[in-house]
């Protein structure tokens, strides 16, 4: 009995060496691809829909660990239309942040690598091909040097933790000017300073000249997050990725930051990918919603469809887990039973099966395919397969 448990829970020295050898081979391969000198035609593709800003298709991002390969993002596909806010929701560890880091090519290397799929970015630099199709960059295939021209200018990111996102040894102004110099090297110091102060004004900072000269530790959490938003806006981006931008802030400041993001989105017409585990934030801010679980998308649709007609048992569970004003305080808050499967040895069946109260016999078969419920609503669950066949 003990021997069986030992074999099940621990790796032998031979297995450990085999994993290490495999990891080194894979990491070297993908690192070489990033530095490979290629012609632009290698990473230029066409958009399926020119109204989309980003099209993510079958994206796979893996982490090569000592215990095995963790499939953090496992075949994720969704679109970010121009001028819309797409909310990505799910519990911690479901792959939300890794998906956003994959778009930016900021996955922690060499352990973390994008191993498959495509991320098509609709850029104005390329125009149309001879067939009239909109040309785009495939970020998965883009070499690191080419990605520098896109990251921070066309695609920017507001990171999760404002307290640690800014460098403590440089002033706010120095860090804002640095972004300007990278993407607009022709600008003078005076022009960069003027641009940075204008960005600080845009995000609602009342004394921008004073904040420009300040160090990060002299500012509150809310002010630092506004500085991060100003930095994100500095290159006039087409896509802003907001990775839980209100997590470290109190409720009042959270509301201010969300209002600011909505205001910026309307003024500039950019698209926003909003990552959060707070369904209240999603309901108030997003146009479209993507629900992730264990590295895969289990439901996606418009914000009205997801909140008024949630289909997947996991989506229903997430909504029940959120406390409401009219909730009976004597009743314990609902929580989804069970645990997420081991990310190294994921089952071939539905990942949510062991936690689901609505399982049917088909759930013991292979992982379900995505089912189209309406033109904008999709769910990955066997419970709705009959509707799909009608």
- Asked whether residue 171 is assigned to any structural domain, the reply reads yes
Q: What is the CATH number of the domain that holds 290?
A: 3.40.50.300
Tokens in use for 319? 């909504």
User: Number of folded domains in the chain?
Assistant: 2
Burial class (CB in 10 A: 0-12, 13-18, 19+), 305: buried
Domain that holds residue 206: 161-236
Q: Between residues 246 and 185, which one has the greater pLDDT?
A: 185
> 105 and 187: one domain?
no
Mean pLDDT of the chain: 88
- Residue 256 banded pLDDT, cuts 50, 70, 90: confident
pLDDT digits (tens, 9 = 90+) for 324-381: 666 666 677 778 888 888 888 888 899 999 899 898 888 888 999 999 999 999 999 9
- Residue 387 banded pLDDT, cuts 50, 70, 90: very low
Query: 300 pairs with which residues across the strands?
Result: 290, 378
191, 210, 236 - which closes a domain: 236
pLDDT exceeds cutoff 80 at 5: no
CB 221 within 8 A of CB 249: yes
Tokens in use for 76? 């994720």
> 132 and 170: one domain?
no
- Asked whether residue 142 is assigned to any structural domain, the reply reads yes
- Asked whether residue 304 is assigned to any structural domain, the reply reads yes
> 232 and 245: one domain?
no
- Residue 390 banded pLDDT, cuts 50, 70, 90: very low
CB 44 within 8 A of CB 136: yes
> 93 and 173: one domain?
no
For residue 303, the model assigns a pLDDT of: 95
47-58 residues labelled b (16+ CB within 10 A) or e (exposed): beeeebbbbbbe
CA dist., res. 64 & res. 114, Å (int): 11
- Asked whether residue 105 is assigned to any structural domain, the reply reads yes
CA distances from 55 to 81, 146, 239 (A): 8, 19, 12
- Residue 58 banded pLDDT, cuts 50, 70, 90: very high
pLDDT exceeds cutoff 50 at 1: no
- Residue 23 banded pLDDT, cuts 50, 70, 90: very high
> 302 and 214: one domain?
no
Q: Is 32 helix (H, G, I), strand (E, B) or coil?
A: helix
pLDDT exceeds cutoff 60 at 389: no
> 107 and 137: one domain?
yes
Mean pLDDT of 246-270: 83
Dihedral sign from CA coordinates of 207, 213, 216, 218: negative
> 246 and 381: one domain?
yes
For residue 102, the model assigns a pLDDT of: 95
For residue 131, the model assigns a pLDDT of: 87
For residue 35, the model assigns a pLDDT of: 87
> 127 and 254: one domain?
yes
pLDDT exceeds cutoff 50 at 118: yes
* Residue 64 parent element (H or E): strand 52-65
- Asked whether residue 21 is assigned to any structural domain, the reply reads no
Mean pLDDT of 266-270: 89
236, 264, 286 - which closes a domain: 236
CB 325 within 8 A of CB 268: no
> 279 and 173: one domain?
no
CB 45 within 8 A of CB 123: no
129-141 residues labelled b (16+ CB within 10 A) or e (exposed): eeeeebbbbbbbb
Burial class (CB in 10 A: 0-12, 13-18, 19+), 168: exposed
For residue 328, the model assigns a pLDDT of: 63
- Asked whether residue 299 is assigned to any structural domain, the reply reads yes
176, 208, 236 - which closes a domain: 236
Tokens in use for 168? 């403590």
- Asked whether residue 62 is assigned to any structural domain, the reply reads yes
> 86 and 105: one domain?
yes
Q: Between residues 115 and 6, which one has the greater pLDDT?
A: 115
What letter would DSSP give residue 367? P
Q: Between residues 387 and 251, which one has the greater pLDDT?
A: 251
pLDDT exceeds cutoff 60 at 91: yes
pLDDT exceeds cutoff 60 at 388: no
pLDDT exceeds cutoff 60 at 7: no
- Asked whether residue 290 is assigned to any structural domain, the reply reads yes
For residue 290, the model assigns a pLDDT of: 96
What pTM did the predictor assign?
0.89
Mean pLDDT of 196-218: 92
Give the lowest-confidence range in 25-39, 227-241, 325-339: 325-339
> 319 and 177: one domain?
no
> 248 and 313: one domain?
yes
* Residue 187 parent element (H or E): none
Rounded to 5°, the CA angle 167-110-180 comes to: 35
């Amino acid at each position: 009995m003990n021997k069986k448990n030992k074999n099940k829970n621990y790796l032998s020295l031979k297995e450990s060496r085999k994993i290490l050898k495999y990891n080194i081979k894979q990491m070297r391969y993908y690192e070489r691809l990033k530095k490979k000198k290629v012609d632009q035609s290698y990473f230029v593709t066409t958009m399926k829909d020119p109204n989309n800003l980003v099209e993510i298709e079958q994206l796979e991002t893996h982490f090569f660990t000592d215990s095995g390969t963790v499939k953090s993002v496992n075949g994720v596909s969704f679109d970010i239309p121009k001028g819309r806010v797409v909310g990505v929701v799910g519990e911690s560890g479901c792959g939300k942040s890794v998906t956003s880091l994959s778009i930016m090519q900021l996955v922690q290397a060499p352990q973390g690598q994008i191993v498959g799929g495509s991320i098509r970015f609709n850029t104005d630099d390329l125009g149309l091909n001879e067939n009239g199709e909109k040309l785009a960059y495939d970020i998965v295939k883009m070499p690191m040097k080419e990605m520098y021209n896109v990251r921070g200018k066309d695609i920017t990111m507001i990171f999760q933790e404002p307290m640690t996102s800014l460098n403590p040894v440089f002033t706010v102004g120095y860090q804002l000017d640095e972004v300007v110099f990278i993407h607009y090297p022709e600008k003078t110091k005076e022009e960069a300073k003027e641009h940075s102060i204008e960005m600080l004004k845009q995000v609602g900072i009342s004394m921008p000249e004073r904040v420009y000269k300040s160090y990060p530790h002299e500012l509150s959490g809310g002010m630092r997050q506004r500085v991060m938003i100003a930095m994100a806006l500095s290159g006039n981006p087409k896509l802003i990725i907001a990775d839980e931008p209100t997590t470290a802030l109190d409720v009042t400041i959270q509301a201010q930051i969300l209002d600011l993001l909505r205001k910026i989105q309307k003024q500039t017409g950019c698209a926003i990918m909003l990552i959060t585990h707070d369904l209240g934030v999603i309901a108030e801010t997003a146009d479209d919603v993507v629900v992730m679980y264990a590295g895969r998308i289990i439901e996606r649709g418009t914000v009205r469809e997801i909140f008024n007609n949630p289909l997947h048992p996991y989506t229903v569970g997430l909504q029940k887990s959120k406390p409401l004003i009219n909730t009976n305080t004597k009743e314990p808050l609902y929580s989804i039973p069970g645990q997420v499967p081991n990310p190294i040895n994921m089952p071939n069946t539905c990942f949510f099966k062991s936690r689901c109260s609505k399982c049917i016999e088909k759930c013991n078969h292979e992982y379900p395919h995505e089912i189209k419920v309406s033109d904008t609503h999709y769910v990955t669950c066997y419970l709705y397969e009959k509707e799909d066949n009608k």
